[in-house]
Amino acid sequence: MANPDSPDRPAQPAGGKKPQGPGRPAPSRAAAGRSLLWLGLITLLLLLVWSPFLTAGDPTEVPYSTFRAQLEEGNVARVTVQGLKVEGTFVEPVDRTIPRPGDDDEETVEVDEFTTWVPAFGDDELFALLRAQGVEVVTEPESDFSWWLVLIYAVPFLFIVLLMVFLYRGMASQGQQMSQMKKSRARAYERTDEATTFDDVAGQDGPKRELEELVEFLAEPGRFEKLGGEIPRGVLLVGPPGTGKTLLARAVAGEAGVPYFHVSGSDFMEMLVGVGASRVRDLFQEAKKEAPAIIFVDELDSIGRRRGAGLGGGHDEREQTLNQLLVEMDGFEPNLGVVVIAATNRPDILDPALLRPGRFDRQVTVDLPSRKDREAILRIHARRKPLHPDVDLDEVARSTPTFSGADLKNLLNEAALLAARREREDIRSEDIDDARDKILMGLERENLVMSDEERRLLAYHEAGHAVVAAFVPETDPIHKVSIIPRGRAMGVTQQLPQRDRYIHSQEVLHDRLAILLGGRAAEELVFDTRTSGAADDLQRASRLARQMVTSWGMSEKFGRLAPGSQQEEVFLGQDIAQRREYSEATAREVDQEVRAILDRAFDRARDLLVEHREGMDALVDHLLEHDEVSGRRVMELLGAPMEDAGSEGQSEEEAESEETETAEAEE
């Protein structure tokens, strides 16, 4: 017997209506009429096809000459004349030789009754001869019936009838499609044994508490209502992509003991104006029938964008859909017992009327996980994956500071695929390291062949980054330096943070600028040239320095003034371009200050390279020999304090065979 809670069971449609079973429905009048029409048409065609064979039992046709000879001999007893057709009976049977069907031979048969045809030129002596022989003559009028006439007149009539039937069916189907188009596409959630619960959601303790309270309110409303509490109309989950907003909604569905409808914002949109609003009405009507109930709308920004925005004006269908959603959530009529949970990663473009209390009373931020949360997420995703004892999930969490929950799941999945490709029984640290390199920087470009001069220049570029990173005070430890091309990066100097940073001081940012410009400084110091390999470094450094001046007040000239302004999205229609709140003279001073900050960072990086030139040359030799050097070995070659090195101490030989953990690509 099939398990009713099986996850393969299709979701029940909104409103609790079960799909019709496989039984044959009773035929309608229209279906019966169509069946009779087709039956008549088939019968007519069969008559037309088989009409020659229906006369198989008629009298045998004989030549007119044979008939005339037998008449002259007095062997004709009776004839019936109908036009040119003559049928009759012989007194004595006459032998008639006819060919066999499908054979070259002939056979002789005795003919009692015959049929023949008077020649078209006529026979003036026939009637006199019949009278002379005393033959009984019967005449009949010539028949006007013809199957071809039936075909000529019936086929156009049948064609018109069929055309009308098809047009009627098309109009009926269009009416059904229009009625179905206005129905909500929300799917009712059915809890199964493998349903997601809050135990499957790691981290995000604040959002979990908010949603757990919502589930408790729906399960025991009296406990809150006795203190005057009211159920929230809506909960908006806000956060970057992949942080677990939809996962939290699935957990609510698994925990809630009330009907749960889930739909995407794009499911409301159609070409025809008014369809989206009709679907919103139908969705809330179905939810009210099952109240208390929960509605989950994923990607709310697809229908909740600010009204009247956009360079080309508003979108009528989306705005009508949004208007209907606003009315259903908090309009003239109360909407008791229906809670809306929505998710979006673009709260800045939502209509203000949608965000006010009474509609979305709570806005829950689902942010990127912390290091502790990342470790918990990794443990959940590693439940069904065999990990080697050398895998330290805490170290993996430390090396993935910018990863979301979806990124961490993808990391372990890529590691599992790599381990299976290498025919291993479990997942090792090397597999996770390689998977992280693949995600952050892309695949190794094995077919890329560089000349010795290019490899040497690349090695000095990465060594310049490493030297500056090793001797500036406010920076993260070096984990690995590599000149193996991956994706769009020709090389990389990787640093792993000891902890997550949420506030960056001015000293940290200046050190960061010096590290970014260390590669260009090495090129000019050693080769007295500039290459395109520093393009990404220069862009990131320029962007960072401009933010320091225009947004964070880290400039001596401007002090606490932040001449920058928040950039508006162009498609919102508020400003076609970024609005500037300062004059052209101030803009020139901003450019000068940004250039001054970058020049100071470059001079600082160049001074460090000159001071530690010997260590940089030694690091370059090792890079050219091994392509990759671990962070601890880098610190040894540069003579930097060992406590600043990465947590994993690999020897030079180990670095040849095993990939270490990756962080941010510098190129």
462 as an active site residue: the answer is yes
Q: 62: Cβ–Cβ under 8 A, 6 or more apart, which residues?
A: 94, 96, 111, 114, 115, 116
CA–CA separation, 630 vs 635, rounded Å?
9
Q: Please report, for residues 394, 407, 437, 491, the alpha-carbon distance to residue 431 in angstroms, rounded to integers and kept in the order given.
A: 16, 16, 10, 20
Residue 56 contacts residue 44 (beta carbons within 8 Å): no
Question: Two tokens at 390?
Answer: 């050398």
β-pairing, 628-630 with 362-365?
unpaired
Please work out, in degrees rounded to the nearest 5, the angle formed at the alpha carbon of residue 137 by the alpha carbons of 131 and 143. 140
- Run of H or E residues at 77: strand 76-82
Question: Helix (H, G, I), strand (E, B), or coil: what is residue 365?
Answer: strand
Nearest to 518 by CA among 498, 499, 493: 493
Say which of 462, 593, 628, 636 is annotated catalytic. Answer: 462
Strand blocks (E) in 169-210: 187-188
Q: Please report, for residues 7, 159, 184, 250, 506, the alpha-carbon distance to residue 190 in angstroms, rounded to integers and kept in the order given.
A: 9, 50, 17, 11, 53
Enumerate the H helices of 269-392 as residue ranges: 275-289, 316-330, 352-355, 371-381
Question: Helix (H, G, I), strand (E, B), or coil: what is residue 214?
Answer: helix
Residue count of the chain: 667
Question: Two tokens at 109?
Answer: 């048969």
Residue 479 contacts residue 494 (beta carbons within 8 Å): yes
Which residues belong to the active site? Answer: 462
